[in-house]
Amino acid sequence: MMTEGVAYLANQQAADGSFMGQASTAMMPFEPTRQHPTNFFTSLIVWCLRNVAGTDSIRAAAVAFLQGQQSPQGSWNYWQTSSDMALQHPYPDDLDDTSCALLALQSFNSTLVDAAALAQFAKLLIATEAAPGGPYRTWLVKSDGTQWQDIDVVVNANIGAFFSRQGVELAGLNSFLDEAIQKNTLRSPYYVSSIPSLYFLSRWYKGPQLNALQKLVADSLDASKTHTSLQLALLITAARNIQLPASKIASARRRLLALRHDGHWPAEALYVDPHLDGQQYYAGSAALTTAFALEALSEIHSEETPKKTLVVTSPTIRAALASSKSLPAELGTAYQNIVRQIAARDHDGQISDMATLTARAYDRTADKKMLEQLNLGSLNGWIAYSIYDDFLDEEGQLALLSAAHYALRQSVTHFAKALPDNVRFTALVDDAFVAMDTANLWEVTQARATALKGRLHYTLPTYGDYRQLAERSWGHSLAACGVLMAGNSAAKVPQLQKFFHHFLIARQLNDDAHDWEEDLARGHLSAVACLLLKEHGAAGSINLKTELPVLRQIFWRSTIHVVAELITSHSSAARKALTQSDIASPKLFLDWLTPLEASAERAVAGSQETQKFILEYQK
């Protein structure tokens, strides 16, 4: 099904990468009578295909085409440049085509929308704002005229989608859209119904009227209503975007599949096209409907298609699953599900095969049973503390708590069996568990804020050298250290511990940099959140709702640079420690540092673009 749709789109794509629009004089039934060379279809199709497998070449060609259609001022026109329609029926450039083209480019490759493009877009927005911070007029013309001055809900929804991807919120635009959702004034003069409005809003909207938006989408999906293929596709994706239950869209999915013909879906009207020679036209195409259908079905596909059976290749995972078969059914099932989840994402063996990797890296011949026990100790420790960590983050599932207790007991038992006569390793294991529990206790007692009357009240904790970040996950080092302590390499353990110390700090800082907004919303004072609040200068109290835009500016202006420098510094220290531990094949461990360092570099580069965008807009 998906493959046929992708093949159809590839066949419909022009040599220059574009997709031609079609126009019909009737909205229903849609019967194309002329071709309209519009940029808009190409932008929408690129976006729709972002999660559809096998479409890289289609999107690459389409993106190259869109880049060639951009004007010197950074905007896009509805018509393709130099087309007969552009010459005979000229339109001004507009924010709908521009925001959708930028979204298409950025969804394909974030580097295609650089600082210069962001700055240009900011200037375009300022020139068209009806009020500071939005909403915005559709057309890029001077505001002193009487024509081309409309303010459209879909256009502003698409602007909001682009702003959302930059981590920027605009109070004026959000208020305009909040009111439109609340009052259900979502009809656009440019689109044939309110369903496109629901779709475009769902791509990003998380505001106070989210429940109202969910109800509007659910009501529109009512199985008793008659929908076209295009409407069904838009509503299915909207429902998924705003997280309606899968049961709500199962019928719509079946109806959409039933409307497929010869591997694609028919042309249907999405919006109102220009009047030509006194005749009203409507725009659509089979390629556009098919792209929207593939978007809808690809998102459903991942949840509703029966999952492939996980092929377990790790001896550690197999041993953990086998040992849990004797457990009572409910406990065994809960534990086994967690083990399988870990197996599915443990691509580099850090969680389930740490001891085996260490023996290989240090070129050590080790007893297989010892390696298995160390690996099982590491795996079960990871399971236990991951579940406990969810509770510390106030996201814990009570149904998993017993599985965590079982895994923790298993971890202690396996580590004890691995080196039963090694007193130093036993002490090392005890110290590691004490360190983890102490670090977790410090976090919940020292690194928490209190929410009161809309404000966050706090006393910033002192992270010092950030050792708490390493100690929270210190069990991750035990299996590796056990391999060295089992042989004649105990003297190398301190350097290996230094590697883990700095690696774990860098990894946690990287996670905190991505999650600082969520952490603050929960009142969690992560290391990165503390750096940010310290620079903000609030005296122990802050209104997150009003100050979040300011915090974002500070984060991208300076905090991210400090965090990136810390990540780079700890990664460098980890590399040095590993080299000094006389390791035979350091690449096995050094590869864990590479993505952290690359993430820090990307964040710094992205901060320059995002900050310039924010500053230009504020001007």
Percent of the chain with pLDDT over 70: 94
Answer whether residue 441 shows pLDDT above 70: yes
| Cα–Cα dist 375/524, whole Å | 32
In a shared domain, residues 231 and 243 = yes
Answer whether residue 507 shows pLDDT above 90: yes
Lowest mean pLDDT among 206-220, 305-319, 391-405, 447-461: 305-319
Answer whether residue 304 shows pLDDT above 50: no
In a shared domain, residues 328 and 264 = no
| Cα–Cα dist 151/109, whole Å | 30
**CATH code assigned at 488:** 1.10.600.10
- pTM equals 0.61
In a shared domain, residues 244 and 356 = no
User: In degrees rounded to 5, what are phi and psi of residue 187?
Assistant: -75, 130
What is the reported pLDDT for 307?
43
Give the pLDDT band (50/70/90) at residue 302.
very low
Last residue of one domain, picked from the residues 240, 266, 301 = 301
Give the largest Cα separation in the chain, rounded. 93
For residue 596, what is the enclosing H or E element?
helix 594-618
User: What DSSP string runs through 131-158?
Assistant: STT--B-SB-S-TTSSSS----HHHHHH
**CATH code assigned at 68:** 1.50.10.20
Q: Strand 21-24's sheet: what is its strand order? A: 32-36, 21-24, 279-284, 271-276
Which neighbouring-strand residues pair with 457? 450, 541
Lowest mean pLDDT among 113-117, 135-139, 584-588: 113-117
**Structural contact between residues 195 and 235, judged by C-beta atoms closer than 8 angstroms:** yes
Q: Which residues contact 409 (CB under 8 A, 6 or more apart)?
A: none
In a shared domain, residues 157 and 178 = yes
User: Which of these, 584, 356, 362, lies nearest to 490 by C-alpha position?
Assistant: 362
What is the reported pLDDT for 379?
96
In a shared domain, residues 84 and 54 = yes
Q: How far is CA 496 from CA 484, 530, 566, in A?
A: 9, 29, 20
Last residue of one domain, picked from the residues 418, 433, 456 = 418
Last residue of one domain, picked from the residues 418, 439, 471 = 418
| Cα–Cα dist 260/270, whole Å | 18
In a shared domain, residues 141 and 219 = yes
**Structural contact between residues 24 and 38, judged by C-beta atoms closer than 8 angstroms:** no
In a shared domain, residues 393 and 488 = no
In a shared domain, residues 370 and 396 = yes
What is the reported pLDDT for 611?
61
**Structural contact between residues 584 and 363, judged by C-beta atoms closer than 8 angstroms:** yes
Q: What tokens appear for 372 in the block?
A: 């298995």
Strands (E), 9-91: 21-24, 32-36
In a shared domain, residues 156 and 294 = yes
Alpha-helical regions (H) of 224-285? 229-241, 250-258
Query: 149-163, 380-394, 552-566: which has the highest mean pLDDT?
Result: 149-163
Average pLDDT of the chain is: 89
In a shared domain, residues 289 and 388 = no
The single-letter code of the amino acid at 335 is Y
The boundaries of the domain holding residue 480 are: 419-619
Answer whether residue 179 shows pLDDT above 50: yes
Number of domains in the chain: 3
In a shared domain, residues 123 and 245 = yes
Which neighbouring-strand residues pair with 136? 129
In a shared domain, residues 427 and 409 = no
